[in-house]
Amino acid sequence: MYTLNQIIVLLLCLVFFNLSYTQNEKDQENKTTVVIDPGHGGLDSGAIGVNGVYEKDIVLNIAMEIIRLNNIMENPMEIYLTRYSDTLISIRNRTELAKKLKADVLLSIHCNASRNPKAEGAEIYIWDGESDFSRASILLAYHLQRVFSKKIGLKSRGVKFANFQVLRGLYEFCPAVLVELGFLSHFDEATFLADKKYSSYIALVIIEILWKYFEK
Ligand SMILES: [Zn+2]
């Protein structure tokens, strides 16, 4: 049998644990969850630059920098990658991960290539259908386009609509945007994208854009 004092202590403990559990749960709910999807990987190199760099490596570098920089911020977002190494993940598994993590947004990162060596600039894609998340995706896409042009100096090729699987797979679930950061077939852009200093800078710009988007 417990004494009255022991029961009071037990009750206080229960209240305390319950409060801290609720607080943790609340903090978790208030966290913004972002899934960054570095395109390609493994056997799929993506585009190959005029300087020999692989798209899969550039986008993974930038994604890893996003994780590193976010983790040293005062109020970091919950950011996950669809891949953390040079491995090929199916598109379906990429979107499934975003669903499982209850992502607030998915940002798929790619680099472009063209037969025309003069083609340059950033393109931002959103799904070409309509859903509850179309407006949010469009807002983020225009924001990305504006800031890439202003802060990175990438020529703006516009926000485009496409039926890409990685975008379509999330149309009922969360906003999803795919960015083509520049052309690996363009000498200056390939040089810029292959430079790790610039990867860090691009990562920082993307974090700033996400912060602004979620108004943190
Ligand atoms: Zn790609």
pLDDT tens-place string over residues 97-110 = 999 999 999 999 99
φ and ψ at 105, to 5 degrees? -165, 150
φ and ψ at 90, to 5 degrees? -65, 155
Residue-level pLDDT at 208: 94
Altogether, the residues listed in the chain come to a count of 216
Q: Per-residue pLDDT for 125 more than 90?
A: yes
**55 C-alpha vs ligand 1 centroid, how far in Å?**
7
**158 C-alpha vs ligand 1 centroid, how far in Å?**
17
Cα dist from 143 to 12, 85, 154, 195, 205, whole Å: 49, 28, 14, 24, 11
**72 C-alpha vs ligand 1 centroid, how far in Å?**
28
Q: Which helix (H) or strand (E) holds 176?
A: strand 176-183
**180 C-alpha vs ligand 1 centroid, how far in Å?**
7
Confidence tier at 46 by pLDDT (50, 70, 90): very high
Q: Per-residue pLDDT for 173 more than 90?
A: yes
Is the domain spanning 32-214 CATH 3.40.630.40? The answer is yes
Mean pLDDT of 31-47: 97
| CA pair distance 75, 28, nearest whole angstrom | 13
**85 C-alpha vs ligand 1 centroid, how far in Å?**
16
Residue-level pLDDT at 216: 53
**31 C-alpha vs ligand 1 centroid, how far in Å?**
29
Residue-level pLDDT at 28: 53
**With contact defined as beta carbons under 8 Å apart, do 119 and 187 qualify?**
no
**82 C-alpha vs ligand 1 centroid, how far in Å?**
14
**137 C-alpha vs ligand 1 centroid, how far in Å?**
19
| CA pair distance 121, 195, nearest whole angstrom | 17
What's at 79, amino acid-wise? I
How far is residue 84 CA from its own chain's centroid? Answer: 13
Q: What is the pTM of this model?
A: 0.86
- CA angle, 106 then 107 then 111, to 5°: 150
